[in-house]
Amino acid sequence: MVAGIDEMLASPVDWQPIPDRAYHFAATVSDIACVLRLNDFPDENMASLLFGEVQHELDDFPAGWRLPRHRGD
């Protein structure tokens, strides 16, 4: 069971693209809806994570996370 953001960052997560929202991905971890947005790096943090109601900025992805490759439009 994932209790908080630290545990979520250490958990394996398979992200799925959100249709019609470029550079946004979704996952459910321990019944908590999560959204990952890729930002305008390096001017901004690499990504923003919304874990339930908690927002967290990332400059690197945890090793256990898998994101689909962006294939362009």
Q: Which of 3-7, 21-25, 40-44, 50-54 has the lowest mean pLDDT?
A: 3-7
Q: Is the separation of the CB atoms in 55 and 49 below 8 Å? A: yes
Give the integer Cα–Cα distance in Å for 8 and 24: 18
Q: In this predicted structure, what is the pLDDT of residue 1?
A: 45
Q: In this predicted structure, what is the pLDDT of residue 66?
A: 94
Q: Is the separation of the CB atoms in 37 and 23 below 8 Å? A: yes
Of 1 and 30, the one with more pLDDT: 30
